[in-house]
Chains A and B, each alone.
Chain A
Amino acid sequence: MKKDTFKVSNQVLRSRLIVGTGKYKSFKETANAIKASGADMVTVAVRRVNILDKKKPLLTDYLNPKKIKYLPNTAGCYNSEEALRTLRLAREMGGWKMVKLEVLGDKKTLYPDMVETLKATKVLVKEGFKVLVYCSDDPLMARELEYLGASAIMPLASPIGSGLGILNKINLSLIVKNAKVPIIVDAGVGTASDATIAMEMGCDAVLVNSAIARSKKPILMAESFKNAVISGRQAFLAERMQKLSYADASSPFKGLI
């Protein structure tokens, strides 16, 4: 069988699990959870340095960007201008061209503003960025993003941080079916089985933050997600049995006493 590699743009990733680095109790816990997850790419945010606290520990002290790929995001940006500003700074900081674009439209739902997202994608692609785009689970929006040159499409499973799992499997499967770029389920994954379901549906990867960080034992949960993603991918590649509306005995009738 051909080796199953996961590639975003020209970047080969060992793991199909991408993890966020927010919401942990400490940087130490972040680092341990990421290690347990087996992820080789993590999302990070860009924020002002706290100039008053000179001794504050830094994320980069715990997660070496030379060993683990940083995927800068635009979390907290509510229009394309803010998102562009953030990602241009991120590129200056680390030299990364691969970025995660998310332009939010609403503070309560953190639902993506697709008009602004499309606008920003266009500019970023033109500037040479490799853009992974957080988006609604709308097949037409996904198609448009691919047309604009997005390196990966990241439809939400459910609202960011909600842990509700995949709310619209039909839409997600339509997106998977139509896309030629990787589909990475982002946002709303609540527990390991949600990740497995996404992978079984043929998604290329899953991005998880809150489900790990907000669990009672984040390091154990990180490992559970690692296994869940591998498991779901294997099930997808193995091509599941057909569903039947009647029983089909597993033990042969021949030789029955």
Chain B
Amino acid sequence: MAKIQLNGRKLELKSRHTILELLKKYKLNSKKIAIELNSKILNRNKYKIVYVKDKDKIEIVHFIGGG
């Protein structure tokens, strides 16, 4: 079990997840987002191999309208 912080929200993952599995869980297209894992940018080719660990702080961002 991992207690993590995702986009500022605290949550618990009951089973082991890779980052890619976490994205799938939230129906997010890995090509349309970028991730910061514990304040460092996570290269997109690592989504498949990096596992979410206890106390991880994850930020998932995307593009929205702006001026």
Contact = CB atoms under 8 A, between A and B. Distances in A.
Contacts of B60: 48-49, 51
Contacts of B7: 48-49, 51
A89 interface: yes
B67 A22 contact: yes
B62 interface: yes
A44 B63 contact: yes
Contact of B61 (A24, A43, A48, A210): A48
A94 B59 CA distance: 16
Interface string B16-33: 000000000011100011
B15 interface: no
Contacts of B66: 20-22, 43-45, 73, 75
A48 B67 contact: no
Interface string A146-175: 000000000000001100000000000000
Contacts, number: 94
Interface string A85-115: 1001110111000000000000000000000
A210 B44 contact: no
Interface in B38-53: 41, 43-44
- Per DSSP, chain A at the interface is mixed
A184 B41 CA distance: 31
B61 A58 contact: no
B65 A60 contact: no
Contacts of A45: 63-67
Contacts of A48: 7-8, 59-61
A210 B62 contact: no
Interface of A: 20-24, 27, 30, 43-49, 51, 54-55, 58-60, 65, 70, 72-73, 75, 85, 88-90, 92-94, 160-161, 207, 209-210
